[in-house]
Amino acid sequence: MKHLHILFIGILLTSAAACKKFVDTPVPKNEMVSSLVFSDDKTATASVVGMYSTMNALNYQYANVLMSYLNGMLAGEVYYFSAFANYDVFSNNALLAGSSYVESMWADQYRFIYQANSCIEGLTAAPALSASVRSQLLGEAYFMRAFMHFYLVNMYDDVPLILSTDYKVNNIKPREKASVVYDTIINDLKRAKGLMADDYPAGKRTRPNKAAATALLARAYLYTQKWAEAEAEASAVLGNNRYALLPDPNAVFLAESKEAIWQLQSVNVSGGRNTWEGFTSVPATATGTALFRLDSVNLIHKFEPGDRRYKSWVDTRKNAAGTAVIYYFPYKYKVRTNASGAITENSMVMRVAEQYLIRAEARIQQNKLTEGRSDLDSIRKRAELPVLPASLDKAALLLATEKERQMELFAEWGHRWFDLKRTGRAPVVMKAIRGDKWQDTDVRYPIPASARASNIHLTQNEGYN
């Protein structure tokens, strides 16, 4: 299968199409900005909205297949159906500074940061925009800058903090401490919350709104162990009647699902495609091969008997015609192609169930054990599982939270890998999976070789020198 990567496409990116990887080659400050138009509400909106379609335009981009499945490989839950060097390094936790996807995911996210900064600068200076449109678009741009920095810092740890389009400054930026990056992420999300509306622009859930900023802020607080703040932000989302934990898991990933906080709209729908996740995960025929499969030991066998998530979100195929060997694949997205051309699924980025799990963990960490257990039970009841025993202590409830996050969020945006890293559980869990091949320094991606070649101030992560 052809693995495609693009720099930029669409209205935002016309004049930047010839640019090389961000930080590899200096880009004149006015080159990107000249392709962004902020002359009126319509053009300004198109300039910002173009980021979302670009994120999801082609398969094997960081914002669809790569972020979910490559990090799933690192966590030992996902594997590719055959040997392929670019994936094998993830399956073996043996990343290299020159690995293709190590470099592309770094470069892709920094391009979007540059794009968000271009929008912030352009919107701030544009005189002709209505106040409400300017406010919403600025909020979206700050949200996107925070979103990209969040994933970068969780993959690579200390990273350059890019807050302008000044290439002379950006191209020599050293890595910033993760704590400082998180401070900026949190400040950007607070600003975004104050700027964005509660309603979704254009009515669909395919652009971030105030709740999306609130949800990501809850996650950022959780990751920085600010438990009370994480609880408060998650509660704000869960108290909003626009959102609900849907009773049927099969309905969760539908377009405009009430569980969706933010989705990416299907863009390239030729041939009846809906999402790239569905197109990549679901075999083409009843006997066809699934490209990405779920590990039976490290994931499938951990489902409790009767878990509705297993029934709804996992499907199986025989390994070959006439054999009894079964393999499993992600089935959260059920549409590979739709003959009618109808779009029934969008790519889920953020959803309500995660907010219950954030609040549960934050409450348990504050010794609010009854309340935290209640949030976990909300997720378990939807999965048709029994409630947790009232006798569980704090340590047991935290392990139960980890388990529920694994079962609920598998093959979604790297949650399992980031959970193992942020909680310090990776060495224990991954040592059991990888044995002597595991090194504790494997919790971080290496800083890409191409980035370090163009910026001598970028140091390498331990274990990759």
The pLDDT tens digits for 40-73 are 999 999 999 999 999 988 888 889 899 999 999 9
- How buried is 122 (Cβ within 10 angstroms: 0-12 exposed, 13-18 middle, 19+ buried)? buried
Q: Quick one: average pLDDT of 191-204?
A: 95
pLDDT given at position 319: 72
Task: Flag whether pLDDT at 411 surpasses 70.
Answer: yes
Domains and CATH numbers, the chain: 14-265+349-422+445-454 (1.25.40.390)
Return the closest-CA partner of residue 95 out of 443, 424, 423, 450.
443
Q: Quick one: average pLDDT of 124-128?
A: 89
Taking residue 402's Cβ as centre, other Cβ atoms within 10 Å add up to 18
- Look at residue 192 and give its three-state secondary structure: helix
When pLDDT is cut at 50, 70 and 90, the band that residue 23 belongs to is very low
Average confidence score pLDDT of the chain: 91
pLDDT given at position 20: 34
pLDDT given at position 320: 65
